């Protein structure tokens, strides 16, 4: 071993010992209760997920905060109480920023849009400009688009059942659900029809769904992003880099073509001032004054990535739950068929038609509570501040587990681990003891700007599916395990069913 190698090894050893032994002893937050974790050698390259956070919240006595170690021994502070959630998300939202590695992961998928913006860039330059596009007055005009694509999807599934020559078929429903959600967010977001329901093998759809799908290579890249500089990670010959680059390039080129055409149409309409109307989020955003092509492409990537993946995840969990709950499924179908047109006759619907179905809304809310598409909020403190009555120094890394708080037995009136849509029928909070107990769309100035859009799309697609088909659980995972209690959840960028969800699907009677 050379002198240089010995020096580098010695430096690494000193830094490692300081970080894992000396720094914790000097930590001003060392009085906060610490979660019980395995020895360092067994968790050095592991970032705990929300299941572990849920377990710590149950087992570790605390007063709103718990300490634990993340990858390479980095200290995290888990928020377990609505007081801390309010401090971070509502009272001082711009004093907390997403950690650099997390922003890096998100930026590689969503571009430099609203989700990665911080401070004044988020508050003024982006959210304020985008807000008009996500008001209900505009979202309600998109329901016919949601419904038409949902009908096209259930028609394609009906043809699949008919062509099988059987009364029912068994399939992994997760990949199938990605097709209507991709078409919907493409059309309603920026006027681009991916045509994935009609032709799932077309180049644009294949590139996108393959590039952003869950895989071992995706998990590897996420882990490396926590360890390596972004520029170095991007040049590594990883399979995921190739897939991601192809997907991003394809969507960026397609969205740029739409944007350039829109700008030309606007120019023809009124000279220098855009006044033409377009029935999608991109059109409203352009009407708000955003006309820079790069900015519009980034926002289009954000609409697509944030909207498609999360709604697909939510719909998958909804199908999972109703496939295990025949009573819930039957009641939901009765409500849908009594109030909505049969998808087979091609009648359009209004926002009021979907929004007046209380049990459908309850099923969606309960699914989003138990299985939030985004399971964790991660924030680093930008300056000394008090959180949950505790003085925290600049740089403190906070974690808010949406998954764990949505399931906390101290925050919900009835058993929070049970799928129970009834809890939402007589209480707008679902029986939660606090406004900040339900975090699936976050809270405060940085809450999900697309909540109305997401809820409307989820309800519409689910209504079309349940109105036409009966679903029964077959199994999950690569080996199609028939035990629903053994379902493996992947906590990545979104909360997914690992290995797929296999269901028996047959035309519903009656």
CA distance 340 to 337: 6
Q: What is the pLDDT of residue 217?
A: 66
Pair of tokens at residue 159: 């043809």
- pLDDT band with cut points at 50, 70 and 90 for residue 275: very low
Give the pLDDT confidence score for residue 440 in this predicted structure: 97
Which pLDDT band, with edges at 50, 70 and 90, does 209 fall under? confident
Longest dimension (CA), the chain: 80
Strand, coil or helix: 386: strand
Q: Which of 235-240's residues contact partners 24+ apart within 8 Å by CB, and which partners?
A: 240/215
For the cut 80, the answer to whether the pLDDT of residue 117 exceeds it is no
**What is d(CA 281, CA 287) in angstroms, rounded to the nearest whole number?**
10
**Exposure string over 302-321, b if 16+ CB within 10 A, otherwise e:** bbbbbbbbbbbbbbbbbbbb
For residue 326, the Cα-to-chain-centroid distance in whole angstroms is: 27
Nearest CA among 366, 307, 325 for reference residue 471: 325
Position 80 scores a pLDDT of 97
CA distance 152 to 354: 18
Q: How far apart are CA 200 and CA 204, in angstroms?
A: 9
What phi, psi does 60 have (nearest 5°)?
A: -105, 110
Q: Rounded CA gap, 128 and 426, in Å?
A: 34
- In whole angstroms, what is the distance from residue 136 CA to residue 351 CA? 10
How confident is the model at residue 108, as a pLDDT? 73
| 3-class secondary structure, 439 | coil
Residue 168 pLDDT: 93
Lowest mean pLDDT among 3-17, 336-350, 433-447: 3-17
Q: Rounded to an integer, what distance in angstroms lies between the CA atom of residue 153 and that of residue 505?
A: 14
Q: Counting Cβ atoms within 10 Å, is residue 137 exposed (0-12), middle (13-18) or buried (19+)?
A: exposed
Q: Is 469 helix (H, G, I), strand (E, B) or coil?
A: strand
Contacts of 210 (CB under 8 A, 6+ apart): 243, 246, 247
Least confident residue range of 305-309, 326-330, 470-474: 305-309
Please report how many Cα atoms fall inside a 13 Å half-sphere around the Cα of residue 126, on the Cβ side: 21
Report which of 72, 101, 399 is spatially closest to residue 226, judged by C-alpha positions. Answer: 101
pLDDT, one tens digit per residue, over 359-406 is 999 999 999 999 999 999 999 999 999 999 999 999 999 999 999 999
Of the spans 110-124, 233-247, 286-300, 326-340, which averages the highest pLDDT? 326-340
pLDDT at 120: 67
How far apart CA 85 and CA 75 sit, in angstroms, is 19
What kind and span of H or E run contains 286? helix 281-287
Q: Give the mean pLDDT of the chain.
A: 87
Q: Hey, what are 222's tokens?
A: 């996420």
- Is 347 within 8 Å of 341 (Cβ atoms)? yes
* Residue-level pLDDT at 213: 66
Asked if 409 and 437 touch (Cβ cutoff 8 Å), the reply is: no
Nearest CA to 130 out of 262, 298, 332, 14 is that of 298
pLDDT of residue 19: 66
* Partners of 444 in beta bridges: none
The mean pLDDT value for 267-280 works out to: 60
Please say whether the beta carbons of 377 and 492 come within 8 A.
no
pLDDT band of 123, cuts 50, 70, 90:
low
Tell me how far CA of residue 304 lies from CA of 111, 209, 320, 405, in angstroms.
10, 11, 24, 27
Q: Which two tokens stand for residue 188?
A: 């309603």
- Find, among 370, 379, 454, 363, the residue nearest to 405 by Cα: 370
Q: Is 53 annotated as a binding residue?
A: no
> Does the pLDDT value for residue 225 go beyond 80?
no
Structural element, H or E, at residue 378:
strand 376-381
Model confidence at 249, pLDDT cuts 50, 70, 90, reads confident
Closest by CA position to 455, among listed 324, 307, 283, 279:
307
Please give the backbone phi and psi of residue 105, each rounded to the nearest 5 degrees, phi first: -65, -50
CATH class belonging to 111-374+445-509: mainly alpha
Over residues 294-319, mean pLDDT: 88
CA dihedral 24, 26, 27, 30 (to 10 degrees): 80
- pLDDT at residue 258 in the model: 86
What percent of the chain is modeled with pLDDT above 90?
A: 53
Burial 380-389 (b: 16+ CB within 10 A, else e): bbbeebebbe
Among 2-16, 256-270, 297-311, the least confident range: 2-16
Q: Say if residue 274's pLDDT is above 60.
A: no
Domain boundaries, the chain: 29-106+376-439, 111-374+445-509
- Average pLDDT, integer, range 308-328: 96
Residue pair 327/508 in contact by the 8 Å Cβ criterion: no
- Does position 230 have pLDDT exceeding 50, yes or no? yes
In this structure, how many other beta carbons lie within 10 angstroms of the beta carbon of residue 250?
17
| Least trusted range by pLDDT, from 236-250, 400-414, 451-465 | 236-250
């Amino acid at each position: 071993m050379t002198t240089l190698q010995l020096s580098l090894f010695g430096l690494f050893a000193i830094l490692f010992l300081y970080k894992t032994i000396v720094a914790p002893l000097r930590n001003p937050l060392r009085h906060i209760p610490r979660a019980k974790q395995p020895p360092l050698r067994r968790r050095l390259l592991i970032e705990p997920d929300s299941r572990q956070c849920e377990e710590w919240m149950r087992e570790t006595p605390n007063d709103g905060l718990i300490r634990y170690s993340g990858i390479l021994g980095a200290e995290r502070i888990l928020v377990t109480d609505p007081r801390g959630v309010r401090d971070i998300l509502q009272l001082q939202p711009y004093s907390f920023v997403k950690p650099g590695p997390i922003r890096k992961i998100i930026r590689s998928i969503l571009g430099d849009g609203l989700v990665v913006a911080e401070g004044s860039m988020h508050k003024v330059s982006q959210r304020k400009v985008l807000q008009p596009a996500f008001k209900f007055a505009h979202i309600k005009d998109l329901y016919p688009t949601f419904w038409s694509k949902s009908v096209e999807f259930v028609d394609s599934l009906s043809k699949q059942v008919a062509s099988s020559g059987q009364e029912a078929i068994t399939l992994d429903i997760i990949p199938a659900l990605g097709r209507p959600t991709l078409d919907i967010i493409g059309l309603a977001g920026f006027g681009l029809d991916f045509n994935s329901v009609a032709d799932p093998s077309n180049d644009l759809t294949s590139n996108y769904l393959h590039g952003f799908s869950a895989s071992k290579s995706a998990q590897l890249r996420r882990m490396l992003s926590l360890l390596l500089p972004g520029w170095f990670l991007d040049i590594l010959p990883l399979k995921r880099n190739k897939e991601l680059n192809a997907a991003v390039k394809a969507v960026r080129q397609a969205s740029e073509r739409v944007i350039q055409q829109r700008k030309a149409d606007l120019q023809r309409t009124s000279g220098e001032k855009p006044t033409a109307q377009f029935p999608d989020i991109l059109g409203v955003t352009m009407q708000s004054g955003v006309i820079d092509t790069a900015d519009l492409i980034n926002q289009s990537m954000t609409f697509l990535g944030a909207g498609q993946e999360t709604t697909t995840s939510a719909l998958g969990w909804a199908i999972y739950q109703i496939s295990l709950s025949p009573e819930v499924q039957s009641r939901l179908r009765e409500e849908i068929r009594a109030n909505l047109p049969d998808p087979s006759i091609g009648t359009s619907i209004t926002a009021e038609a979907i929004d007046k179905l209380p049990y459908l809304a309850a099923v969606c809310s309960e699914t989003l509570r138990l299985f939030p598409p985004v399971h964790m909020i991660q924030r680093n403190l930008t300056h000394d501040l008090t959180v949950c009555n505790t003085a925290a120094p600049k740089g403190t890394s906070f974690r808010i587990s949406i998954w764990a708080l949505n399931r906390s037995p101290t925050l919900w009136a009835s058993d929070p681990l049970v799928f129970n849509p009834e809890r939402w029928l007589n209480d707008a909070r679902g029986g939660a003891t606090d406004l900040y107990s339900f975090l699936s769309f976050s809270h405060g100035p940085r809450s999900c700007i697309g909540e109305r859009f997401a809820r409307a799309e989820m309800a519409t697609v689910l209504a079309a599916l349940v109105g036409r088909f009966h679903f029964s659980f077959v199994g999950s995972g690569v080996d199609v395990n028939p035990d629903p209690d053994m379902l493996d959840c992947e906590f990545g960028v979104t909360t997914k069913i690992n290995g797929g969800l296999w269901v028996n699907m047959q035309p519903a009677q009656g």
